[in-house]
């Protein structure tokens, strides 16, 4: 029972008793009865005023309680004319105003933080209390190569993929640089924040591929230029001396002339090979800016396949064409792209098993070309180093082909990847 109802009942009972006593007093003294009647009238007026004041006070309190329950911080209470209650109402209104200001400030901060996360070029993954992904920004979905719906509500181990597997190993408050397929490098940092009194985890992913590529390029450019200068200067002088020495072979015994000639010519030939090697390295450094024209990629691929056919025939390689259009055009340097396709197909032929298959696939809406081959695949420890300077998996390889390929594709601003997916090892270029 509410307090104001109890007050009303008490007033009714008291006045009922008062009326009963007045009826008994009526027979005894008319004067006392009239005085009692006047007092009853005054008491009724005072009780009504008291009940109305109490009722108004409690209605105001109830209204304030309902406002707090509904979290409506825009409503304010009006003063009712009682000093004590008005003071309480002033404190309540001040509290509501502060709460409204804090909520508005919090909403603005949350909105700004949400927009900042969405617009961030770094990938951001936010986890729930149980380790399930609760939020992810567009940059992270692009880096992971998945749609938002394929990520939310799952753990990193359920997503799959090389990057997700590496992210699982990142420790809290720790940073790690993850290299994928020798092309993409990411700096990943895992940290925590407090939400509703509980600790939650988030991961930031920052792509470093371009920065690392530029640092590597600057480093090996200096090394190659220095080596090329020193080697070519030395080789020129040495070959001049060796050619001069050949003129003196007739002064030797006839039995020694053949060995003498062979030794000097072998030395001269080796010097030429060393000069060619340095020229190959220097060619990577001096890749010119692409001169772009409209290029029919499918026609270009068919001409390169025709060029590589004799080599592929030795391993009984079969070609599989999966084209979604007869023509696929892009704006690029014809000669440089031709060199890229030669390098890719040469590596594919070397990697494929005897009687294996090389598949060439296009997706015109995405401006994508994929060159895949069957074979043993690329181990994880090798894939991280594929595009590293001077790294090669073939015997006597110089690591020039993929370096040159990377340089040309970077200059064209084409996205590319090299990875083993199932039974296929795929080199994909997106233009």
Are the C-beta atoms of residues 60 and 80 closer than 8 Å to each other?
Answer: yes
Measure the CA–CA gap between 339 and 410, rounded to whole angstroms: 14
Give the model's pLDDT for residue 172: 85
Give the model's pLDDT for residue 277: 66
Token pair 């601003």: residue: 413
Phi, psi of 221 (to 5 degrees): -65, -45
Q: Compute the radius of gyration of the chain from its Cα atoms.
A: 43
> Around Cβ 32, how many Cβ atoms within 10 Å?
12
Measure the CA–CA gap between 378 and 386, rounded to whole angstroms: 9
Q: Across all residues in the chain, what is the average pLDDT?
A: 78
Measure the CA–CA gap between 260 and 250, rounded to whole angstroms: 10
Chain Cα centroid distance, residue 385: 22
Measure the CA–CA gap between 425 and 419, rounded to whole angstroms: 6
Q: Which sequence spans correspond to the domains of the chain?
A: 3-70, 120-207, 212-285, 293-430
Q: Which one of 16-25, 67-76, 101-110, 271-280 scores highest in mean pLDDT?
A: 101-110
Q: For residue 313, give the H/E element and its range.
A: helix 297-314
Q: For residue 176, give the H/E element and its range.
A: strand 174-180
Q: What DSSP string describes 66-134? A: HHHHTT-TT--PPP-S-HHHHHHHHHHHHHHHHHHHHHHHHHHHHHHHHHHHHH-SSEEEEE-TTS-EE
How do 357-363 and 368-374 pair as beta strands?
Answer: antiparallel
Q: Which residues, other chains included, contact 331 with Cβ-Cβ below 8 Å and sequence gap of 6+?
A: 292, 293, 294, 295
Its pTM stands at 0.51
Q: Which residues, other chains included, contact 219 with Cβ-Cβ below 8 Å and sequence gap of 6+?
A: 389
- Judged on CB neighbours under 10 Å (0-12, 13-18, 19+), 91 is exposed
Could you read off the pLDDT of 36-89 as tens digits, one per residue?
777 877 777 877 777 677 676 666 767 766 776 666 666 776 766 667 667 777
SS3 annotation, 326-362: CCCEEEECHHHHHHHHHHHHHHHHHHCCCCCEEEEEE
CATH class of 293-430: alpha beta
Token pair 């408050």: residue: 173
What's the token pair of residue 324? Answer: 């979604």
Could you read off the pLDDT of 372-422 as tens digits, one per residue?
988 787 766 666 656 655 556 665 555 567 777 888 888 888 888 888 877
> Can 120-207 and 293-430 be said to share one CATH topology?
no
Q: For residue 415, give the H/E element and its range.
A: strand 415-421
SS3 breakdown of the chain: % helix, strand, coil, rounded to 5? 60, 20, 25
CATH class of 120-207: alpha beta
Could you read off the pLDDT of 151-192 as tens digits, one per residue?
888 888 888 777 888 888 888 888 887 777 656 778 888 888
Of the chain, the percentage scoring pLDDT greater than 70 comes to 77
> Around Cβ 403, how many Cβ atoms within 10 Å?
26
Measure the CA–CA gap between 116 and 112, rounded to whole angstroms: 6
Alpha-carbon distances, residue 141 vs 134, 144, 228, 408 (angstroms): 13, 5, 44, 27
> Around Cβ 404, how many Cβ atoms within 10 Å?
19
What's the average model confidence in pLDDT over 87-104?
77
Q: Which one of 232-236, 278-282, 297-301 scores highest in mean pLDDT?
A: 297-301
Give the model's pLDDT for residue 97: 77
């Amino acid at each position: 029972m509410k307090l104001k109802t109890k007050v009303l009942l008490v007033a009714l009972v008291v006045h009922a008793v008062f009326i009963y006593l007045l009826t008994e007093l009526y027979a005894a003294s008319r004067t006392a009865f009239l005085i009692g009647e006047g007092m009853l009238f005054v008491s009724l007026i005072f009780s009504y005023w008291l009940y109305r004041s109490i009722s108004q006070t409690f209605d105001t309190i109830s209204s304030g309680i309902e406002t707090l329950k509904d979290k409506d911080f825009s409503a304010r209470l009006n003063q009712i004319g009682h000093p004590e209650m008005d003071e309480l109402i002033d404190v309540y209104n001040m509290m509501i105003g502060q709460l409204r200001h804090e909520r508005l400030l919090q909403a603005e901060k949350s909105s700004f933080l949400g927009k900042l996360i969405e617009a961030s070029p770094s990938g951001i993954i936010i986890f729930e209390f149980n380790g399930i992904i609760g939020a992810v920004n567009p940059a992270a979905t692009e880096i992971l190569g998945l749609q938002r719906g394929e990520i939310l509500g799952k753990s990193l181990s359920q997503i799959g993929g090389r990057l997700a597997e590496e992210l699982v190993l990142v420790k809290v408050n720790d940073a790690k640089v993850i290299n994928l397929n020798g092309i993409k490098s990411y700096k990943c940092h895992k940290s925590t924040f407090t939400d509703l009194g509980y600790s939650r985890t988030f991961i930031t992913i920052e792509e470093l591929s371009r920065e690392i590529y530029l640092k590597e390029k600057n480093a090996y450019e200096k090394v190659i230029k220095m080596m090329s200068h020193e080697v070519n200067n030395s080789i020129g002088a040495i070959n001049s001396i060796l050619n001069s020495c050949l003129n003196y072979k007739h002064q030797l015994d006839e039995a020694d002339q053949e060995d003498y000639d062979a030794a000097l010519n072998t030395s001269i030939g080796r010097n030429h090979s060393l000069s060619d090697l340095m020229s190959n390295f220097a060619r990577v450094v001096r890749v010119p800016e692409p001169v772009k024209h409209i290029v029919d990629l499918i026609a270009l691929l068919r001409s390169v396949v025709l060029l590589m056919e004799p080599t592929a025939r030795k391993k009984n390689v079969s070609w599989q064409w999966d084209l979604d259009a007869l023509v696929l055009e892009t704006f690029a340097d014809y000669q440089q792209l031709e060199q890229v396709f030669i390098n890719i197909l040469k590596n594919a032929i070397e990697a494929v098993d005897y009687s294996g298959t090389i598949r060439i696939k296009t997706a015109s809406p995405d401006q994508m070309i994929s060159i895949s081959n069957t074979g043993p695949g690329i181990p994880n420890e090798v894939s991280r180093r594929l595009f590293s300077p001077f790294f090669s998996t073939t015997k006597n390889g110089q690591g020039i082909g993929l370096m040159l390929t990377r340089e040309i594709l970077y200059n064209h601003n084409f996205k590319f990847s090299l990875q083993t997916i199932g039974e296929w090892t795929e080199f994909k270029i997106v233009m």
